[in-house]
Chain A
Amino acid sequence: MFALASCSQITLKQGEINASLYQGDVQKAYDVLNQDIDKWKKNRNALLYYWNKGTMAWMLGKHQESSELFMTSDYFLEDMYRNYANVAASLFTNDKVKQYRGEDHERLLFQYYQILNFMQLGNREYALVQARRLQLELQRLDDRYKGDKDAPDARYHEDAFAYLLIGLVYESAGELDNAYVAYKNAYRIYSNFYPSTLGVEMPEQFKQDIMRLAYHLGHPDELERYEKELGLVYDRSQGKRGGNTVFFWNNGLSPVKQEISINFTILRGSGGWVTFTNSQYGFSIPVYIGEEHTADGSAFSNVELIRATFPKYASRGAFFTHAELLANGRHYPLELAEDVSSIAHKELDDRFLKEIGKTLARLALKKASEYQLRKESPEAGAALGLINFFTEQADTRSWESIPHQISYTRLELPPGKQSLVLRATAPSVLQDHPITVYVHSEGMSFVGFHTLQPGNPLP
């Protein structure tokens, strides 16, 4: 029933990039991206170019270049809301014609990379600006799905990890009140939406951080509430400062979108309505296409068969299951803070019905115009039918170089250049990666590393 299909130049190049990433050869993936800059940057895939190249540059330690690419993407996104010209075109063709705007989680994640870039470049002021921009994006996300956010099956409309990151940036700048507000948001989301819907538990490190700030900012009642809810007792003899180094572990690769096709029967109704049905999935979806197409004598026959295509995520996951950071003769376990794959699946699942409605409306219109033309010229109508068949493709674009999951830990290190080891483990495999971090004498240092190997290396 499901047919997988892939085409387009972008998909082919993405395949080459993915193959390099699976082998851990980031430089090669970066070089592939550099080969056809114009094709990538042109029009509708520009955002993917900036994001992919920004990610590769980040992985290669080119933080200045990476930050410039992500900043371009940031302004590009901001300005994109002004250009609706290509939206109308896609009503008749498909979403691939549209400028790629990124999934909700992708528009948050590029800011994670950007914050790491700025922190790694020692530009704390810009990291703070980015944290504030991330807050604005979180507000946009919340506004977009405001209506149904308290429903038990709430959509992905808020992100605990993003708030955790914002809190860390504020903490690094000594703005503890702002950090605490961000942590409180993260706490709320880690307490409900993340465990129940995404299967992500609140990290132990985060529990300590929010209790520490509650205590030192003079909120004893709130500290007691956290202690009670978390079943922990906060050690009040601890200092005001948390660890001065935050390490983020990006593991595996995000799911990729593939095209699935579903066959529908179109039943012609009356008053301009047709109904798309599929007995296997139990779909029966009425779509309005205009009275002239359902009136007697219309070219639309009573029963039609049609194939519709949709994007669906396929997981790639991660090869490594756990990791720890070795420093100062101690082992610091890395705790899961964000499950990018679960969020991606959730987002697409949440809007699947909407996708179906949109696709079917488009198909019905295309079919109607095809029949209309067939009445005037059978050859032209047949040709349009052929064009319609070939232009009907699901939009399978996504940012494919982001991780499957993000884990983190926080530790105290002496100022200066420090050498650490990231030890990633999988059943019967252990891999050590040397990590160098420059620890600032003031504020905090952020550093990240991506173990790319997926669990399921899809082509």
Chain B
Amino acid sequence: MLAGLLAVSSCSQRQVTRINPDEQTDLSGRWNDSDDKIVAEDMIDQSIDKNWRTEFEAITGRKPVVIVGRIKNSTSEFIDPIAIIKQIESAYVNTGKVRVVATADERKGVRDEREDQQIFANEESRKKWGKEKGADFMLMGVMSSKTDEYAKEKVVAYQVDFELIDIETNEKVWMGQSKIKKHIKN
């Protein structure tokens, strides 16, 4: 009887198992890699074979060049959109249908390297200034969320809006939306 009242401590052995990266996992209910993947695939499907690209190719006779701009996080969670951005860029480049140029942050590193080459690289391999490819379109996005919760239940509705803007004319040539709704019960 007395023994039953004493606190029993047990040391549990941590287990780690490799799982398929495509498997959907949900532990805390917060935004995770599965959500990144759903949104990125949704956006790729919605954007890649749409009129903006085919019309651009028909008029100019070349593939459009896209730069990924800011993905604004207006949710109530700390979400880094980099995984979504990289999946979209990778799909654009790997399908060969859209060309992608470095983002503002990435450009800085590339320009530093080019500057270094002007001093340290031999003349044949030295890359020239002023040859950067200018983007035709900028992809921008906003992630937002609405939380409805009471007692031990919570519903979080995420909405991710992407738009492709013609850099020369400011015209929005494509807009896409991806939604995820989660019901979290404790």
CB within 8 Å of B: which residues of A? 71, 75, 78-79, 81-82, 92, 125-126, 128-129, 132-133, 135-136, 139-140, 143, 373, 380, 383-384, 387
Contact = CB atoms under 8 A, between A and B. Distances in A.
A164 B90 CA distance: 43
Contact of B72 (A125, A126, A135): A125
B28 A79 contact: yes
A136 B5 contact: no
Nearest to B144: A132
Interface in B58-99: 72-78
Given A75-B28, A136-B147, A129 B78 contact: yes
B28 A132 contact: no
Contact of B150 (A81, A143, A387): A143
Nearest to A146: B150
Contacts of B150: 143
B104 to A, nearest CB: 15
A81 B186 contact: yes
Given A380-B2, A383-B2, A384-B5, A132 B76 contact: yes
Nearest to A133: B76
A384 B2 CA distance: 7
B45 interface: no
Nearest to A139: B149
Contacts of A81: 152, 186
B27 to A, nearest CB: 9
Contacts of B72: 125
B19 interface: no
Nearest to A388: B5
A128 B74 CA distance: 8
A129 B75 contact: yes
Contacts of B73: 125, 129
B5, B72, B77, B151 interface centre (most CB from chain A within 10 Å)? B5
Given A82-B186, A143-B150, A136 B76 contact: yes
A97 to B, nearest CB: 8
Tell me the interface secondary structure of chain B in the complex. loop
Contacts of B76: 129, 132-133, 135-136
The 4 A-B pairs of least Cβ separation, nearest first, read A132-B76, A81-B186, A82-B186, A133-B76
B75 A380 contact: no
Contacts, number: 39
A125 B186 CA distance: 29
Given A78-B28, A82-B186, A380-B1, A71 B78 contact: yes
Contacts of A139: 149
B149 A140 contact: yes
5 contacts: A75-B28, A128-B74, A140-B149, A373-B1, A384-B5
Contacts of B78: 71, 126, 129
B155 to A, nearest CB: 12
Nearest to A80: B186
Contacts of A373: 1
Contacts of A125: 72-73
Nearest to B185: A82
A341 B72 CA distance: 38
Contacts of A143: 150-151
Interface in B151-186: 151-152, 186
Contacts of A128: 74
B77 A129 contact: yes
Nearest to B70: A125
B73 to A, nearest CB: 6
The CB with the most chain A CB atoms within 10 A, among B30, B78, B147, B150, is that of: B78
A92 B151 CA distance: 25
Nearest to A71: B78
Contacts of A140: 149
Contacts of A387: 2, 5
Interface string B1-22: 1100100000000000000000
Contacts of A133: 76
Contacts of B74: 128
B70 to A, nearest CB: 10
Nearest to A81: B186
Nearest to B74: A128
A380 B1 CA distance: 8
Contacts of A136: 76, 147, 149
A92 B7 CA distance: 12
B141 to A, nearest CB: 13
A79 B74 CA distance: 22
A71 B150 CA distance: 23
A132 B75 contact: yes
Contacts of A384: 1-2, 5
A132 B77 CA distance: 9
A230 to B, nearest CB: 32
A1 B37 CA distance: 63
A296 B5 CA distance: 28
A92 B1 CA distance: 14
A115 to B, nearest CB: 13
Given A78-B28, A92-B5, A387-B5, 11 more contacts: A71-B78, A79-B28, A82-B186, A125-B72, A125-B73, A129-B77, A129-B78, A135-B76, A136-B147, A139-B149, A140-B149
Contacts of B152: 81
A140 B150 CA distance: 8
Nearest to A376: B1
A139 B148 CA distance: 10
A135 B186 CA distance: 21
A128 B75 CA distance: 9
Contacts of A82: 186
A11 to B, nearest CB: 19
Nearest to B147: A136
A318 to B, nearest CB: 33
A236 to B, nearest CB: 32
Contacts of B75: 129, 132
